[in-house]
Structure 1
Amino acid sequence: MKRTLFAALLAMTALPVHALDLSAMTDAEKAAFGEAVKEYLFAHPEVLVEAINKLEERQAAAEAQNDATLIQTNAKDLFEDGHSWVGGNPQGDVTIVEFTDYKCTYCKKAYPEVNTLLKTDGNIRFVVKEFPILGRQSELAARFAVAVQQVAGDAAYAQVHDDLMNFRGDITLDSLKRLAETRKLDADALMKRMNEEEVTNVLRANYKLAERMGIAGTPAFVIGGEMLRGYAPLQQMQQIVAGQRD
């Protein structure tokens, strides 16, 4: 494309090769060159489409490389932080990390897709990062989930995580207490732990990690060495997992 455009402009302006150095052009030559470019692009608008597509490809490649560097730099905090819940197959060959918010509509939309991916694949390690960014109800839910993990263990957390993802309505202390009672958990102990430093430290670490990763919304996924910002259908996630295995 570049060679064709270059030759066309030379022909249309009747300028020598060295004259396409804009700094060496006279005002008249610059004007002629500008008119030639305008005429050519009007006659061949597909050139602009090709150029835009190429630019987008380069930008996407640069972003992917930057994401890969961020993942490598923050690998320990992403995959082995010591406090995040790990589900799926803990020995899986690909790890998916999800930054999630229980009041996020797209997190709830992604929830069944992720579950299907984990069940149908069977070889994916799944890490959840509580990342409440949508207000007071989000924070209450995240604090409750982390408190459940710390007080009652991973199995209880897995149940509560599912409950909160399926929950519709306002999240309040009363609704969380009822949820704890339904799951036969110690509601008083959980209400107390929610406001303690152990829970705050987990959320603070997740916020700082998200900031370093350039994550500002939910859901956000790290799939092996690739970043996926936002909701994606099951098929797209399956393709990314397959690409990571390749």
Structure 2
Amino acid sequence: MSTSPENAPSTLRHSLLTALTALVFGFLGAAIWSYSGLADNRTRSFLMGNPDLLPQMAEAYEAQESAKRLADLGDAVLDPFPGVVLGNPQGKRVLVEFTDYNCPYCESSLKDVNRLVAEDPDLKVVIREWPIFEGSDTASRMALAAGLQGKYTEFHNAMFKTGDVAAAARAAGLDMERAARDAASDAVSAEIARNLDFARSLGFSGTPAWIAGGTPIGGAVGYERLKAALAEDTAG
């Protein structure tokens, strides 16, 4: 994609800030005009004296809308394709990652996910294969086929290490004939289409994207942000 995933949240936030600025000027201006007759000058003074107001409003609004979209999807987005999980498949704490094997940000995030898994034996990482880069579909299909053989983790790590589908499949020890059939199956095609629908519904525009602690998060946000989001869910 021509725009990096990390820029998408900034673009959305800029749009929200613009809209909220208009609203604040409108509502505050009307109120101040009513009470003092000063209108725009007083409104500007108020905003200049409270520079954190608009970013805070944008962040709160964005979080509210994201929570609504996630609630509309229900538990389906948390349910993995068979075998396509990292960490503890029975874990009570769930992290969802939308990923693409040709995404450099996804590759750099792998160490963060592996660290979270190593630190928390109760963490289940549900991977949603979302091939949005050119040439990624074959890798995503083989990854899902690996999940059906119970070897998703091995393929996932090998694919990011080698960048070669056949080499990763061999490293994972896949039954290649079965994997080829499964990769071309309707079930795998349906899963990829479903992940695209999930991503669009949540407002994601690139990979990686996450659901951590019940919160949709876009971009390669790093270990600390993901850990904090998961901790908030535990605290709740």
Normalising by structure 1, report the TM-score. Answer: 0.73
RMSD over aligned CA atoms reads: 2.8
Aligned equivalent of 1:161: 156
Deviation at 1:162, TM superposition (A): 0.8
Deviation at 1:166, TM superposition (A): 2.0
Task: State the SS of the aligned residue for 1:74.
Answer: helix
Deviation at 1:116, TM superposition (A): 0.3
CA contact (8 A) 1:84 1:127 kept: no
CA contact (8 A) 2:47 2:53 kept: no
- For structure 2, the 5+ residue unaligned runs are 1-27
CA distance in 2, matches of 1:125, 1:50: 45
Aligned equivalent of 2:230: 241
CA contact (8 A) 1:94 1:223 kept: no
Q: Which structure 2 residues correspond to residues 38-53 of structure 1 after superposition, within 5 A?
A: 47-53=46-52
Task: State the SS of the aligned residue for 1:217.
Answer: coil
Q: Give the AA of the match of 2:178.
A: A
CA distance in 2, matches of 1:158, 1:50: 52
Q: 1:83 to 1:51 in 2, by over 3 A?
A: farther
CA contact (8 A) 1:79 1:97 kept: yes
Q: Which has the larger radius of gyration?
A: 1
Deviation at 1:147, TM superposition (A): 1.7
CA distance in 1, matches of 2:81, 2:179: 20
CA distance in 1, matches of 2:60, 2:85: 30
CA distance in 1, matches of 2:49, 2:91: 41
Q: Give the AA of the match of 1:214.
A: G
Normalising by structure 2, report the TM-score. Answer: 0.76
Aligned equivalent of 1:27: none
Q: 1:191 to 1:90 in 2, by over 3 A?
A: closer
CA distance in 2, matches of 1:160, 1:220: 20
Aligned equivalent of 1:65: 64
Deviation at 1:89, TM superposition (A): 2.5
Percent identity of paired positions between Structure 1 and Structure 2: 26
Deviation at 1:96, TM superposition (A): 0.5
2:93 is the counterpart of 1:98: no
Deviation at 1:67, TM superposition (A): 1.4
Deviation at 1:110, TM superposition (A): 0.7
2:77 is the counterpart of 1:78: yes
Q: Give the AA of the match of 1:115.
A: N
Q: Tell me which moved more, 216-225 or 178-187.
A: 178-187
Task: State the SS of the aligned residue for 1:133.
Answer: coil
CA distance in 1, matches of 2:229, 2:92: 13
Q: 1:186 to 1:83 in 2, by over 3 A?
A: closer
* Count of matched residue pairs: 207
Aligned equivalent of 2:186: 197
